[in-house]
Amino acid sequence: MSGSSQPLRIVIVGGVAGGATAAARARRANAQAEIILLEKGPAVSFANCGLPYHLGGEITERKKLLVATPELFDKRFQVDVRTTSEVIAIDRAARTVTVVNLQTQATYQLHYDRLILATGSEPLRPDFWTSGVRNVFQLWNLNDLDAVLAMMRERQPQTAAVIGAGFIGLEVVEQLHRLGIDVSLIERNPHVLKPLDADMAAPIAEEIKKQGVQLYLNAGVEKMITAGDRAVALQLQDGRRVESDIVIVGIGVRPRVELAHAAGLAIGKQGGVTVNAWMQTSDPLIYAVGDMTELPHGVLESPQRIPLAGSANRGGRIAGTHAATGQAANMGVVLGTSIVRVFNLVAASTGINEQTCQSAGFDYRTAIIQAADHATYYPNAHEMILKILYAPDSGRLLGAQIVGESGVDKRIDILATTLHFRGTIHDLAQLDLAYAPPFGAAKDPVNMIAFVAQNDLAEHPTLLPAAAALAGWQVVDVRTAAETQALPLAGAKHIPIDELSLRWQELDPSQPTVVVCHSGKRAHIGACWLSGHGFAKVRNLTGGMSMRRHALSH
């Protein structure tokens, strides 16, 4: 492959998710190749996704985070791992990289036949972060984790502020709270977890507050108030002040593409390195994988930068195989499928949300249901909220979001799989899924939401968005008296569902009519009844009052 008697030399830059996977896979694919893995940090193949859980003590031993050591790479894979080795330049013409040994500062050139870049991304550092303060951190690698833990041992913080309510921020909040620390969470956006729509994020915000965490939404940090080498509080743009003994910043990441950029490799519109289906950059001898790349999105079609571990590992496998053998399967698409636990709730999403549909100009409809994770007559059933977005013409699934206590992981993966195969709500309705009372329902929640969406498209009857303005509609509230008292719906005509077949003549069939209940289930029955009795235009408020409350809460 190298065109000489020398073995093919594969050099990999970055030794964690994508890089370590590429190294191991390249060895399995090519027993003769020389494989060199360069990592600027002190460790390779550590579990960055596990960092928050060691912080809070849920993962008790730090060494469990070291998934594979340089010694293991050496013994098992004959991979030459060089830690504290930073690559500072690529010379494409000479096919060399310049490496700095960060311990000795010695610099050397290393020839490559194939080069795999897996330099990941870098956490954003906000302008308000005063340099020199010792109690403000990011949680990105083992050094960060060790620094936070050392500070916590030394100062025993009683209060903490976490800036950024993304995945890492929420995981850190949960873990600091677990340690008995009084936590504040500050988020600039109007809701937590950007991949979720506001209505689906609202139950997560409620859970955070229920646990005693102070949640600041729509809250930009203006400045850090310091005393000596410590931040003591954060000044918010609206004038509020959040006192804190320790601050963790998790406001997002940017791809580390400086090396690739300086080497003249093509960079895409999203700021990630452009790659083909085998992870080759614009220079076919150089591959790029993981957070630093942008990859074709399964719904948007265009390349997107989605910094998640799954695609980094898949990309590493493909680049490792292709670099070692000259052929490999295709990378395929990304969907941004993700999941996070937030105290007693789990939030997950795949595909695109309403905001992305709107900015991408997609015509879409939504369905929302509440369903139990398994048969309700079997003990410990928990409700989850499912939301799907689909195309009105074809019924093609565009995205899905779920919030619940259990069974969320299984459903989001079913929905992601359907998305991967460009499936429709009709495919979802047909899925033949495993069922026994402890595990699911004979009509699984993903079947159920597809039935709702099919009804919607078949106008049997059509759904109205949970937050829709109800002026001009004849609103029929089919909940019980106790439910309407607990959460009133102004202007609605109250006819409990079990009285509707006797009292529907009290309504005006010529008026556009929307039927409302708690979740949309009884409203569907009511709406079918009214449609069947000649009402001109009948709608069901999707997700019912429980989702309307969330949708209007922000």
- Within 13 A of 9's CA, how many CA atoms are on the CB side? 13
13 touching ligand FAD, by CB under 6 A: yes
**Residues 82-101, interacting with ligand FAD (CB under 6 A):** 86-87
Residue 307 touching ligand FAD (CB under 6 A): yes
Main-chain dihedrals φ then ψ at residue 10, nearest 5 degrees: -105, 120
In this complex, which beta carbon is closest to ligand FAD, that of residue 319 or of residue 328? 319
Smaller CB separation from ligand FAD, 119 or 135: 119
Query: x/- string (CB under 6 A) for ligand FAD, residues 113-152?
Result: -----xxx------------------xx------------
DSSP 305-325: ----HHHHHHHHHHHHHHHHH
Q: Please pick, from the candidates 1, 49, 124, 433, the single residue that binds ligand FAD as defined by CB under 6 A.
A: 49
Separation CA 481–CA 147 (nearest Å):
56
For residues 257 and 296, give the distance between their C-alpha atoms in angstroms, rounded to a whole number. Answer: 18
Binder among 217, 225, 308, 360 for ligand FAD (CB under 6 A)? 308
14 binds ligand FAD (CB under 6 A): yes
Is residue 335 within 8 Å of residue 353, measured between CB atoms? no
Contact between 229 and 213 under an 8 Å Cβ cutoff? The reply is no
| Segment near ligand FAD (CB under 6 A); pick from 302-310, 393-401, 409-417, 424-432 | 302-310
The reply on whether position 320 binds ligand FAD by CB under 6 A is no
* Residue 294 found at the interface with ligand FAD (CB under 6 A): no
Do 273 and 117 meet the contact criterion of CB atoms below 8 Å apart? yes
- With CA atoms as reference, report the closest residue to 184 among 215, 205, 152: 215
- Minimum CB distance to ligand FAD, residue 102 (Å): 9
- CA nearest to 537, candidates 518, 511, 519, 515: 511
Three-state DSSP state, 160: strand
Q: Is 309 in the site for ligand FAD (CB under 6 A)?
A: yes
**Residue number of the CB atom closest to ligand FAD:** 290
Query: CA 322, CA 279: separation in Å to the nearest integer?
Result: 8
Of 524, 521, 478, 483, residue with least CA distance to 502: 478
The yes or no reply on residue 334 touching ligand FAD (CB under 6 A) is no
Residue span binding ligand FAD (CB under 6 A) among the ranges 199-207, 290-298, 366-374, 518-526: 290-298
Question: Among all residues, which ones are annotated catalytic?
Answer: 49
Instruction: Determine if 166 is a binding residue for ligand FAD (CB under 6 A).
Output: no
68 touching ligand FAD, by CB under 6 A? no
31 Cβ contact list (under 8 Å, min separation 6) = none
Q: Is the peptide bond preceding residue 461 cis, with omega within 30 degrees of 0?
A: yes
Is position 259 an interface residue for ligand FAD (rule: CB under 6 A)? Answer: yes
Residue range at the interface with ligand FAD (CB under 6 A); choices 225-233, 307-315, 392-400, 485-493: 307-315
48/531 with CB nearer ligand FAD? 48
Does residue number 195 form part of the binding site for ligand FAD (CB under 6 A)? no
Interatomic CA distance for residues 227 and 71, integer angstroms: 44
Q: Is 52 in the site for ligand FAD (CB under 6 A)?
A: yes
Residues that bind ligand FAD (CB under 6 A): 13-19, 38-41, 48-49, 51-52, 86-87, 118-120, 139-140, 167-168, 256, 259, 290-292, 307-310, 312
